[in-house]
Chains A and B, each alone.
Chain A
Amino acid sequence: MRRETSLFSRLVVRVALVLCGGATLLAVAAWYYARAAADDAYDRLLLGAAIQITANMTVDNGSLAVALPTSAFELLGLAERDRIFYRVIGPDMRTLTGYEDLQTDLDLTSARAAPVFLSARYRDVPVRIVVAARALSDPSFSGWSYVVLAQTTEARRALAGELTSRAMILVGIMSLLALAGTVLAIRYSLLPVSALGAALRARDPQDLTPVNVDVPRELRPFTASINHFMGRLDERVTLLQRFIADAAHQIRTPLTALSAQVDMLDEDEMDEIGRRHLGRVRKRVGQLARLTNQLLSHAMVIHRSDSVRFKPVDLTDVARKAFRAAIPVTVDPDIVISFEAAPQPIVVLGDAVSLREAIANIIDNSLRHGTVSHLAVRVLGSNGRARVEVEDDGPGIPPSEWSNVTARFVTSKTGEGSMGLGFAIAAEVASAHQGAIGFQKRGERGFTVVLDLPEYVEGAR
């Protein structure tokens, strides 16, 4: 399966990728800042506690004493789940109290200027350590003593995590809004494309005039190319039609002469085989004549459809003329052929010659491929529609093929040979007159072809 490319999905995917990248960067930044903020906040507590401890160092009788202040631990207790480790070091670098194994790689003397913070691992958990120093200057005891205070980092991580996730929610909401906005914007910008597509799809396949749809500037090269192409196609089709008409016209004279010659052959002087061959030649010449006439007729109705001004014409009159022309005098006398005019005059806006061709072709088709013993032509008018119905008692055309028969040279399956251009001509004329060719089936025997046209009302357009 080939994946269908879509401008919409291309744009959406790319914008989404950019938004994801942006959100990731923002998340990393938020995490970084949240950690910094959490560290900052808890470091202050840690420092406060360390300073309280150092403040409670006293020199008593020449020896250093530390009374661990409860307030310091209460302060640290604000981070409920965290554990605290401490170590107080005397000037002689001996541990005065606390965890002796709470070591740092730090040179303790660097804490003399200002307390030093560092992150480390203690007892396999990450801890934050502050080292504070105090200079003791007692006459009996002097030197620097240090407090090393460590706190596990759970509360910090929790705070950092919370801050980050809140930031992430905001980033997420913003990203979704941006994506939704983009989707809407793309949809909106692509509307003219689908409008153009719809306009092209809605076109009659015969219509090769330039596309006339308002499109944004960016789409103009596209419509220009379409129009250029249409123009060339139109020229080509016109040329082809003229060629076909010319060719058919050229064929006509020798063909008439040929059928004249065939007509002059004397059957009486022939043997059985000769007569059979002559019969076939006659039949084929007849077919050829009919097709040539249809080609010319087709070329004519196409030519007239864009060159002749429509006038109000009496449809009954046109249909009667078509009826006379299409029913040969030599028709089988056992066929009942009738013509039924509407009681009131029925007027359509159109070209009498094309309409006559259309009706004559429908009748001719029915006579050749449908009619068994009845053929009726009716002209009717009602509700602003004018209709010419040609009904025969043949098997008709199966509904599955109704849509095909108006195409050129469709071979009927029920009859023999090709139905030629008859319905194509009729359909062409119908559509030029804003009408249509329809079919109706009535039971086993009874098939009606309907030429349906808008009735002309004086004064209305």
Chain B
Amino acid sequence: MRILLVEDTRDVGEAISRRLEKVGHTVDWQTDGQAAADILDFTDYDLVILDVMLPGLDGFEILRHLRTGRKTTPVLVLTARSEIEDRVGALDLGADDYLVKPFDFRELEARVRVLLRRRAGDPTNLIECGDLVLDRNSRSVRVGNREVQLKRREITLLEVLATRPGRVFGKDELLDHLFGFEDGANQNAIELYIGRLRKKIEGSRVRIVTIRGLGYQLVADDAA
């Protein structure tokens, strides 16, 4: 994926681009706000990481410029506390997420992953099954008023089960859905994810049933 990083602190910019390049992304790193805005005019990126305090044009200006150009590129804003204070509307301006400096670099990487996936997949947002509502955008499953946060693979797993309630899915089949052809995954991982999912949908009338020797199925109990 192609990422534009706009950050004028050398140490920080270097660390972010190194980290993202390590997981396989292409990172263009700009230190000047005006230059970054110019580049955005004729280049499409999969993600923009924006520092707010920049020489030339500040991060909010770049963001406004980008959004008035009707571009939907996800934007992750790096900001300081005092700057949010002045611009409450960082998110309202069209940023998809923000991180407050100083931040944890693993968290940055995780959020980048989430933003990129959201763009790539563009999945249907809501999947309903019994009294469960699966919301891919907020990465959560809803039972009544209660929203429980899910991890990516948990969402995928629940999605697979929920699209065909009642059908029994074998462990191998689920493994394929979850990990594709990645190495290192084994059937124990499926048990782990099923266990976590069960905990997270507790209180719902929908249950994950183990069919010994065959696999798992999603069963929606009727209210009656």
Given A252-B102, A353-B88: A264 and B15 interface contact (C-beta under 8 Å) = yes
Q: Given the complex, which residues of B lie within 8 Å of A303, measured CB to CB?
A: 85
Query: Once bound together, how far apart are the Cα atoms of A293 and B98, in whole Å?
Result: 14
Q: Which residue of A lies closest to B113 (CB)?
A: A329
Q: Mark A236-271, 1 if CB is under 8 A from B, else 0.
A: 000000000100010011011111110110000000
Cβ distance A254 to chain B, nearest Cβ, rounded Å: 9
The reply to whether B14 and A327 form a contact with Cβ atoms under 8 Å apart is: no
Interface residue A330 (Cβ < 8 Å from any Cβ of B): yes
Q: Given the complex, which residues of B lie within 8 Å of A108, measured CB to CB?
A: none
B210 near A: Cβ within 8 Å? no
- Distance in Å from the Cβ of B74 to the closest Cβ of chain A? 14
Residues of B within 8 A of A261 (CB): 11, 15
Chain B hits for A339, CB < 8 A: 140, 146-149
The answer, yes or no, to whether A334 is at the interface (CB within 8 Å) is yes
> Contacts A263-B19, A286-B104, A293-B102: A257 and B151 contacting too (C-beta < 8 A)?
no
- In the bound complex, residues from chain A placing their C-beta under 8 Å from that of B110 are 328-330
Using Cβ atoms and an 8 Å threshold, which residues of chain A touch B19?
263-264
Q: In chain B, residues 50-103, which have Cβ atoms closer than 8 Å to a Cβ of chain A?
A: 80-82, 84-85, 88, 91, 98, 100-103
- Within 8 Å by CB of B80, from A249, A288, A340, A342, lies A249
Cα A286 to Cα B104 in complex, Å, equals 7
**Most chain B C-beta atoms within 10 Å of own C-beta, residue among A255, A286, A293, A338:** A338
Cβ-based interface call for A163 (8 A): no
Interface of B is mostly: helix
Contact assessment for B199 and A259 in the assembled complex, using a CB-CB cutoff below 8 Å: no
By a CB distance below 8 angstroms, the chain B residues around A343 are 145
Per the bound structure, the CA–CA distance linking A282 and B114 in Å amounts to 24
Residue from the set B15, B81, B100, B146 with the largest chain A CB neighbour count within 10 Å: B81
Give the complex CA separation of A297 and B82 in angstroms.
Answer: 8
A216 adjacent to chain B (CB < 8 Å)? no
Chain A hits for B88, CB < 8 A:
352-353
What's the Cα separation between A342 and B18 when bound, in Å?
A: 44
Cα distance, A300 to B82, chains bound together (Å):
7
Whether a CB of chain B sits under 8 angstroms from the CB of A333 is yes
B 12-40 contacts with A by CB, 8 A: 12, 14-16, 18-19
Q: What residues of chain A lie closer than 8 Å to B148, measured between beta carbons?
A: 336-339
- Contact check, A260 vs B105: say whether CB atoms are below 8 A apart: yes
Is A304 an interface position by the 8 A CB rule? yes
Contacts A328-B110, A333-B154; is A338 near B147 (CB within 8 Å)? yes
* Count of residues in B whose CB is under 8 Å from the partner chain: 41
If over half of A's interface residues share one DSSP class (helix, strand or loop), that class is named, otherwise mixed; here it is helix
Chain B residue with the shortest CB-CB distance to A254: B11
A residues near B9, Cβ cutoff 8 Å: 253, 256-257, 260
A256 near B12: Cβ-Cβ < 8 Å:
yes
Is the CB of A153 closer than 8 A to any CB of chain B? no
Instruction: Please state if A257 and B154 are interface contacts (CB–CB under 8 Å).
Output: no
Name A327's closest neighbour in chain B (CB-CB): B149
B15 contacts A263, CB within 8 Å? yes
A289 contacts partner chain B, Cβ-Cβ < 8 Å: yes
Asked if B107 is an interface residue, CB under 8 A from chain A, the answer is: yes
B111 within 8 Å of A (CB atoms): yes
The reply to whether the CB of B106 lies closer than 8 angstroms to some CB of chain A is yes
Q: How far is the CB of B80 from chain A (nearest CB, A)?
A: 6
How distant is B30 from chain A, measured CB to nearest CB, in Å? 17
Cα distance, A330 to B104, chains bound together (Å): 10
- With A256-B102, A293-B81, A333-B151 given, can you name 7 additional A-B contacts, CB distance below 8 Å? A259-B15, A260-B16, A264-B14, A289-B104, A296-B82, A330-B110, A343-B145
Identify 25 residue pairs between A and B in the complex whose beta-carbon atoms are under 8 Å apart, listed by A's number: A252-B101, A253-B9, A253-B101, A258-B11, A260-B9, A260-B14, A260-B15, A260-B16, A264-B15, A293-B81, A296-B82, A300-B81, A328-B104, A328-B110, A329-B107, A329-B114, A330-B110, A333-B154, A338-B148, A338-B200, A339-B146, A341-B147, A343-B145, A373-B199, A376-B146
